[in-house]
């Protein structure tokens, strides 16, 4: 049985490798590398898989998942500039893939280990990534 909780956060970012020049970044990442940043309303879906607890009928109380998303993701990334405000992306290009990777690790550390974790992250209504660990 899998359960999921959805949340949103708004952030600015720029696709950018700090070891490349602006020209190199612009050639590879196009307008996504605009030096002054652009932004998104990110939508995050957190999925947990495990058995139903016969006591409660829950796999996990989604209120708990909501609280972990708030403390680990929203408080960290919402209304932030991912490149400038978030040490996680000081050396890591904040593509949707890397944001998913970082978010998965942050969530994994705070959610019960007996539940398998998968996340989906929409950058726009047309672009989405999914990560389940490796």
| Active site members | 32, 79, 123
3-state secondary structure of 83: helix
Q: Please report whether residue 115 would count as binding its own copies according to CB under 8 A.
A: no
Pick from 26, 34, 64, 70 the residue near its own copies by CB under 8 A.
34
Q: Find, among 84, 76, 86, the residue nearest to 109 by Cα.
A: 76
Whether residue 80 contacts residue 118, with contact meaning beta carbons closer than 8 Å, is answered with: no
Q: Please report whether residue 114 would count as binding its own copies according to CB under 8 A.
A: no
Draw the binding track, 54-93, toward its own copies (x: CB under 8 A; -: no contact). Answer: --xxxx--xx--------------xxxx--xx------xx
**What is d(CA 99, CA 102) in angstroms, rounded to the nearest whole number?**
5
Q: Please report whether residue 21 would count as binding its own copies according to CB under 8 A.
A: no
CB burial class (10 A; 0-12, 13-18, 19+) of residue 44?
buried
Task: State in angstroms the smallest separation of the CB of 22 from its own copies.
Answer: 14
Q: Find, among 37, 19, 16, the residue nearest to 28 by Cα.
A: 16
Q: Which residues bind its own copies (CB under 8 A)?
A: 1-8, 10-13, 15, 28-32, 34, 36-41, 45, 47, 52, 56-59, 62-63, 78-81, 84-85, 92-98, 100-101, 124-131
């Amino acid at each position: 049985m899998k359960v999921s909780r959805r949340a949103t956060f708004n952030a600015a970012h720029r696709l950018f490798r700090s070891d490349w020049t602006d020209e190199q970044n612009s050639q590879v990442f196009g307008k996504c590398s605009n030096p002054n940043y652009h932004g998104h309303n990110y939508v995050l879906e957190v999925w947990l898989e495990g058995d139903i607890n016969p006591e409660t009928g829950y796999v996990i109380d989604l209120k708990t998942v909501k609280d972990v998303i708030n403390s680990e993701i929203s408080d960290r990334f919402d209304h932030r500039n991912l490149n400038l405000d978030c040490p996680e992306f000081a050396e890591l290009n904040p593509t949707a893939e890397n944001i998913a990777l970082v978010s998965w690790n942050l969530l994994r550390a705070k959610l019960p280990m007996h539940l398998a974790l998968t996340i989906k992250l929409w950058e726009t209504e047309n672009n989405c990534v999914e990560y389940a660990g490796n």
